Amino acid sequence: MLVCLLVALCLGSACVTGTQTGNGGAKKKKGPNEPVVIGFSMDTLKEERWQKDKELVEKRAKEVGATVNIQVANGDDSLQIKQAENLLTQGVDVLIVAPHNGEVAASIVEAAHRQGVPVISYDRLIKNADVDLYVSHQVVKMGEMQAKYLLDHVGKKPANFVIVGGSPTDNNALLLHKGQMNILQPAVARGDVKIVTDQYAKEWQASAALNIVENALTQANNQVDAVVASNDGTARGAIQALEGQNLAGKVLVSGQDADLASLTLIVLGKQTMTVYKSIQPLANAAVDAAIKFAHGEKVDTVDTIDNGRKAVPSILLEPVAVDRNNLVNTVVKDGYHTLAEICATVPPDKCPKP
Ligand code: BGC
Return the closest-CA partner of residue 287 out of 40, 12, 4, 76.
40
Q: Which residues have C-beta atoms less than 6 Å from ligand 1?
A: 47, 49, 123-124, 166, 170, 172, 204, 231, 256-257
CA of 6 to the centre of ligand 1 (A): 50
Mean pLDDT of 35-62: 98
CA of 94 to the centre of ligand 1 (A): 23
Specify the range with the lowest mean pLDDT, choosing from 6-10, 119-123, 268-272, 289-293: 6-10
User: Could you identify the atom of ligand 1 that is nearest to the CA of residue 230?
Assistant: 10
The contacts of residue 309 (CB under 8 Å, 6+ apart) are 127, 128, 129, 130, 131
CA of 239 to the centre of ligand 1 (A): 18
**pLDDT at position 15:** 31
- How high is the mean pLDDT of the chain? 93
> What is the number of other CB atoms lying within 10 angstroms of the CB of residue 300?
9
Segment holding 105, helix H or strand E: none
CATH 3.40.50.10860 fits 2-131+278-317, yes or no: no
Query: pLDDT-derived band of residue 11, with 50, 70 and 90 as boundaries?
Result: very low
Return the closest-CA partner of residue 313 out of 326, 323, 298, 291.
298
**Residue range(s) in the chain whose domain bears CATH number 3.40.50.2300:** 2-131+278-317, 139-276+324-350
Query: pLDDT-derived band of residue 28, with 50, 70 and 90 as boundaries?
Result: confident
pLDDT tens digits for range 251-293: 999 999 999 999 999 999 999 999 999 999 999 999 999 999 9
Query: pLDDT-derived band of residue 2, with 50, 70 and 90 as boundaries?
Result: very low
**pLDDT at position 17:** 30
Instruction: Report the C-alpha gap between 68 and 40 in whole angstroms.
Output: 7
pLDDT tens digits for range 163-200: 999 999 999 999 999 999 999 999 999 999 999 999 99
Q: For a substitution probing ligand 1, which of 42, 44, 49 has the most ligand atoms within 8 Å of its CB?
A: 49
pLDDT tens digits for range 284-310: 999 999 999 999 999 999 999 999 999
User: Could you identify the atom of ligand 1 that is nearest to the CA of residue 170?
Assistant: 7
Q: For a substitution probing ligand 1, which of 74, 101, 123 has the most ligand atoms within 8 Å of its CB?
A: 123
Residue 208 vs residues 180, 214, 270: alpha-carbon distances, Å? 19, 10, 19
**pLDDT at position 195:** 98
CB 276 within 8 A of CB 336: yes
DSSP codes of every residue in 311-335: EEEEEEEPPEEE-TTTTIIIIITTT
**pLDDT at position 26:** 65
- Domain spanning 139-276+324-350: CATH superfamily: Response regulator (3.40.50.2300)
Q: Which residues are bridge partners to 164 per DSSP?
A: 199, 229
Segment holding 38, helix H or strand E: strand 37-42
Question: Residue 258 is which amino acid?
Answer: A
